[in-house]
Amino acid sequence: MTIEEAQLQVDQWIKQYGVRYFSELTNMAVLTEEVGEVARIMARRYGDQSEKDSDKDKDLGDEMADVLWVLICLANQTGVNLTEAFKKNLDKKTSRDSNRHHQNLKLK
């Protein structure tokens, strides 16, 4: 599935099952909440915090998909074409950082 197809599929789902998009500000709050859920898993599973029994069955991929879902909702609501935005962002990073990381002694 392409990013464009994902944006269309989310929009179709919202129209069929979701009644309407939550407001942009509500979705921003939901995005923050979903990122927090990913952070909790990462901190406990891969970081220094101990993992609680209640966290052990959490699906990291599913939580990341929740983040992607809400991000796509926000893009759809604000008229952002994520495919074009990502291409433009990748070009920016490439021109800005093409040699930067190779020269970083911390990465060697």
Q: Is residue 36 part of a domain?
A: yes
Determine, yes or no, domain membership for 51: yes
Q: pLDDT of 53-105, one tens digit each?
A: 888 899 999 999 999 999 999 999 999 999 999 999 999 999 998 888 888 88
Structural domains of the chain, count: 1
- Any domain includes 48: yes
For residue 54, the model assigns a pLDDT of 87
In a domain, 105, yes or no: no
Report the CATH number that the domain containing residue 73 is assigned in CATH: 1.10.287.1080
In a domain, 43, yes or no: yes
Q: Are 47 and 54 in contact (CB under 8 A)?
A: no
Q: Is residue 21 part of a domain?
A: yes
CA dihedral 90, 93, 94, 96 (to 10 degrees): 160
Q: Quick one: DSSP state of residue 54? A: G
Residue 52 falls within a domain, yes or no?
yes
Average pLDDT of the chain is 95
